[in-house]
Chain A
Amino acid sequence: MIYEQIFHMVNVGIVILDLKLKVVKWNRWMEIHSDVSCDTLVGKSIFDFYPNLDIKWFNRSCKSVFAFGNTFFITYKLYKTIFPFKPISSFVTLFDNMCQDCIIGPLRKEDKSIEYLYIMVSDVTKIASYERKLLDMGAKDGLTNIYNRKYFETKLEEEIERCNRYKKRFSLIILDIDFFKKVNDKYGHLAGDYILKAFTKIIAKIIRTSDIFARYGGEEFCCILPETVGETALIISERIRGGIEETVFEYKKDIKIKITVSQGVAVFDNNNITKTELINLADKALYKAKKQGRNQVVIA
């Protein structure tokens, strides 16, 4: 009697399935968050109600529990939606679905043979939000909210490693806002900050989701273009150049600022060069672009 009450009162979802994955028990926590009562489910296959679970990892785990009696500890990071429930808190906005950790393990008869399996589901949405925020804090630039230099360097190393392994190529652009110091001197540092933020927003719209755009420091930015070389890389950097050139930045409504950007592009051609050498190549091209009169793209 007491155990039955605890079964329904614990702040975790508990589901018990038989060998054919039919529902045997479905506790109150599951009823509340699924909006499906235990009576409706009992005796029916879990897949009738949650077809999203009829996939490899879930089947693999269940078969393994019945064959070996082992216990699976699955975190929300590996498989996002286990039971698609709404987040409990009304304030959470980061996730559309509740983030769940789950444990799948065996339940045995007196003779130690396995009769059922249990699934225990915990809500870890809050932890997931904190983790997301922490990760962002470590990887992103505080002012512009694009990636920071540390993250960029890690990504660049990974990209070089991957391209070496699979004999792929990519491009690296280094961008520098022309005469940025003048903006700061003329309109003040707050205006300068505004320009940096607005500048990154424009570029973020031009590049693709697979590209990695980061603030390298000051008014210097970097962009990794995976599997993109030659003409395509040039088209992207030209679009960036044009996009910035034609924009009139309006600071506090009455101050209109125009800027341009110079860019140096270097290609990684799995030619055994290091991260530093590649950055140097792009830097030299950028220097050339500046020297030739700014507001232009130079390929190393």
Chain B
Amino acid sequence: MDADKNEIFTEDQKDILQEIMNIAFGNATADLSEIIDIYVILSVPDIKTISAENLDSYINNLIDLKKNTKIIEQKFFGEYNGSGLLVFPDINDDEISTILDHSDDINSNDSSEQVPVNEILIEIGNILIGACIGKITSLLNTYVTYSPPDIFPSDTSNKVCLSYHTDKDKTGLVMKTTFTFNEKNIEGFLLLLTNDESFDWLKKALGKFMESYL
């Protein structure tokens, strides 16, 4: 974890945050497979603080936008405030429809219509972003509410611009994890962005987390 500005979090706080993320993503992986039959491997998250003005270029360096790039965004609100971006760098419609089991869903009898790819992506976003955020928030003893997920219109632009990060003085906390769906050869990454409005709360919550274990 490195900051590109003056240090916002102490070394201890960074360590706690990293460990909480390890635990949260590990728990999320386990529950997704054990409870919901979704077999996905989430890597150990990489945590960075990035100033708002560098955030777009950071994201565009990560994502090489192609015709088949799919990005789903879901915002969350509460003491912990921010957004999750689920990125599939290169995925076609057939692959998307294999991620979740849709074998007995009622809509499939209407074979003349195409698979509603965007709707499936939204459901995947609901599940993956919700699982990670849900585990993080429960470790930090809070909860959030969610906005409906949005699909980034990949054919209208060749760059990702996050409209809500307009205040250049602000700093964001970025957590990046790569995910792979077992046996499906589908991979991508998940970015969790936190605005600095949540930092004061986050520092307190990290302190409380440590108190309960140390």
Contacts and interface: CB of A to CB of B under 8 A. Distances in A.
Contacts of B130: 64, 68-71
Contacts of B127: 60, 64, 70
A56 B104 contact: yes
Interface in B125-141: 126-127, 129-131, 133-135, 137-138, 141
Interface in B25-40: 28, 31, 35-37
Contact of A80 (B92, B102, B107, B148): B107
Contacts of A112: 138, 141-143
A272 interface: no
A44 to B, nearest CB: 22
Interface in A209-250: 209
B61 interface: no
A118 to B, nearest CB: 12
Chain A contact residues: over half helix, strand or loop, or mixed? mixed
A69 B143 contact: yes
A67 interface: yes
Given A78-B107, A78-B116, A57 B126 contact: no
A61 to B, nearest CB: 8
A279 B16 CA distance: 62
Nearest to A66: B35
Interface in B97-134: 100-107, 110, 112, 116, 119-120, 122-123, 126-127, 129-131, 133-134
Contact of B36 (A63, A105, A162, A209): A63
A52 B106 contact: yes
Contacts of A179: none
B137 A78 contact: no
Contacts of A81: 106
A73 interface: yes
Interface in A159-211: 162, 165, 209
A262 B123 CA distance: 48
Nearest to A80: B107
Contacts of A57: 100, 102, 105, 123
B104 A209 contact: no
B126 A56 contact: no
B82 to A, nearest CB: 15
A72 B102 contact: no
Interface in A64-100: 64, 67-75, 77-81
A98 B120 CA distance: 21
Nearest to A58: B105
B149 interface: yes
Interface residues of B, number: 39
Nearest to A60: B36
B124 to A, nearest CB: 11
A70 B105 contact: no
Contacts of A78: 107, 116, 119-120, 122-123
A133 interface: no
A57 B100 CA distance: 8
B151 to A, nearest CB: 12
B145 interface: yes
A136 to B, nearest CB: 13
A64 B149 CA distance: 16
A52 B109 CA distance: 14
A56 B105 contact: yes
Q: Taking each of A60, A68, A72, A79, which has the highest tally of chain B beta carbons within 10 Å of its own beta carbon? A: A68
Given A61-B126, A69-B143, A80-B107, 18 more contacts: A55-B104, A55-B105, A56-B105, A57-B100, A60-B36, A63-B35, A63-B36, A67-B134, A68-B31, A71-B145, A71-B146, A74-B119, A77-B116, A79-B106, A80-B106, A105-B145, A106-B143, A165-B94
18 contacts: A55-B105, A56-B100, A56-B105, A60-B36, A61-B126, A63-B35, A64-B35, A64-B131, A67-B131, A67-B134, A68-B28, A69-B130, A70-B131, A72-B126, A74-B123, A80-B107, A165-B92, A209-B112
Give the 9 A-B CB pairs with smallest separation, nearest first: A70-B130, A68-B134, A78-B119, A73-B148, A71-B146, A77-B116, A55-B104, A69-B134, A68-B131
